[in-house]
Chains A and B, each alone.
Chain A
Amino acid sequence: QKEVEQNSGPLSVPEGAIASLNCTYSDRGSQSFFWYRQYSGKSPELIMFIYSNGDKEDGRFTAQLNKASQYVSLLIRDSQPSDSATYLCAVNMDYNAGNMLTFGGGTRLMVKP
């Protein structure tokens, strides 16, 4: 069974702090990795994607990928109450068959003013 694992949380951080969200995946051959944000009752919204080992920064968000250890993380700097949502890690585990995504269960982030 190919899996993506996330701590369900809630992860609570104070406003202005760095929120660190982690994700591990089981398929060593996975090629592409995505972070989505989902507010309650809404659809997933793409935040970042990463394909190569290392860090990728976009504004307050940094995605980190370590294929050897099979983990991907998302850092949110200067966290705001509006960042409070569920963050979904998604992995494309079968590169040859389109971009079907295997999702983790999500980590609920709460940013307290």
Chain B
Amino acid sequence: NAGVMQNPRHLVRRRGQEARLRCSPMKGHSHVYWYRQLPEEGLKFMVYLQKENIIDESGMPKERFSAEFPKEGPSILRIQQVVRGDSAAYFCASSRNDRGANTEAFFGQGTRLTVV
């Protein structure tokens, strides 16, 4: 009965490198959400995906950031040319449904990205 699985748990990148964060939703969940938590701040919504579709990316920076949720495999949040300001905890959440019952979102353990 695995929960939301994220890897890696910790990621260190030098400025200008690429960061790839992976998220496997809970079994039976087809809705994936990515959130970012800057140090000492609250969680901010970034992007909402279903299989092979980006539903809402209104919270994601227009440049350098992209997300996907392919038919097979985990959802991936990709940050190109990382800068120090990208250092944060990135959390993935999943839910069974997006409306009605069973919309509760459960969070993974997060990936803590440090840009040096």
- Give chain A residues whose Cβ lies under 8 Å from the Cβ of B107: 36, 43-46
Q: Is the CB of A34 within 8 A of B104?
A: yes
With A43-B107, A99-B33: A104-B48 Cβ-Cβ less than 8 Å: no
Q: Is the CB of B42 within 8 A of A100?
A: no
In the complex, B91 has a CB within 8 A of chain A: yes
In the complex, A32 has a CB within 8 A of chain B: yes
- Give chain A residues whose Cβ lies under 8 Å from the Cβ of B103: 32, 92, 99
Q: How large is the interface on B (under 10, 10 to 19, 20 to 34, 35 or more residues)?
A: 20 to 34
Residue from the list A36, A43, A49, A99 in contact with B98, Cβ < 8 A: A99
Residue of A nearest to B46 (CB): A100
Residue of B nearest to A4 (CB): B42
Q: Is the CB of B110 within 8 A of A43?
A: yes
- Give chain A residues whose Cβ lies under 8 Å from the Cβ of B91: 43-44
Query: Closest approach, in angstroms, between the C-beta of B43 and any C-beta of chain A?
Result: 4
Q: Is the CB of B43 within 8 A of A98?
A: no
Residue of A nearest to B99 (CB): A95
Query: Closest approach, in angstroms, between the C-beta of B40 and any C-beta of chain A?
Result: 9
In the complex, B95 has a CB within 8 A of chain A: yes
In the complex, B105 has a CB within 8 A of chain A: yes
- Give chain A residues whose Cβ lies under 8 Å from the Cβ of B95: 99
Which has the most chain B C-beta neighbours within 10 Å: A42, A95, A97, A100? A100
Q: Is the CB of B56 within 8 A of A97?
A: yes
- Give chain A residues whose Cβ lies under 8 Å from the Cβ of B110: 43
Binding site for A on B (CB under 8 A): 31, 33, 35, 41-45, 48, 55-56, 59, 91, 93, 95, 98-99, 103-110
CB<8 Å pairs between A and B, sample of 15 = A43-B108, A43-B109, A46-B107, A88-B43, A92-B103, A96-B99, A97-B48, A99-B99, A99-B103, A99-B105, A100-B33, A100-B56, A101-B93, A104-B42, A105-B41
Binding site for B on A (CB under 8 A): 32, 34, 36, 42-46, 49, 88, 90, 92, 95-106
